[in-house]
Amino acid sequence: MNKNLPNRLTVLRILLIPVFIVVLMRGHAVAAAVLFAAASLTDALDGYLARKYDLVSNFGKLMDPLADKLLVVSAFACFTELGRVPAWVLIVILAREFTITGLRSVAASEGVVIAAGASGKLKTVFQMLAVLAILLSDLPIRVFGAPFVRFGAPFANVVLAVAVILTVYSGVEYMIKSRRLFL
């Protein structure tokens, strides 16, 4: 196993972000969804490989979560620009990410590592699912070539609502677990 493969996948995810943005902003939602899904899969794959083959690196510890945040925030910024998602959703996501990143920086300066918790990981999964659901919300689902049902905005809205709730919940959870850093 190439010892740099997980890091290369992280860099690939970062490099896919501007391509994703251009494709999305030019109105190619399906192609943007494919790019976003591919970038999201590199997130799961790089972490899996790093843990399984003991290839965890300082670069990966820093850049992997940053790449996730850049990918998700880029998508929601585009959705806000396109009128697909209200600006407050982007603000909630940014506020949580800046707060937790700052909290981790303070903790690191005191020699404390704040590992990603289950709620933070679930938040990331639902944010990524929300992006895909929004991208694909206008596509009809076909059964044997005949229109069956629209994937639809209601489904995308439900996934987005869960993502926002998990974003707030995981942020509050991190703050509560790290409150000793503030006292």
Question: Is the Cβ–Cβ distance between 78 and 36 less than 8 Å?
Answer: no
In CATH, the architecture of 5-181 is: Up-down Bundle (1.20)
Q: Is the pLDDT of residue 47 over 90?
A: no
| pTM of the predicted protein model | 0.89
Residue 22, both tokens:
């251009």
- CB 15, CB 9: distance < 8 Å: no
Is residue 148 scored above 80 in pLDDT?
Answer: no
pLDDT digits (tens, 9 = 90+) for 6-46: 999 999 999 999 999 999 999 999 999 999 999 999 988 99
Of the candidates 119, 154, 29, 150, the residue with the CA atom closest to the CA atom of residue 79: 29
Rg over alpha carbons for the chain, rounded to the nearest Å, is: 18
Structure tokens belonging to residue 119: 């709620």
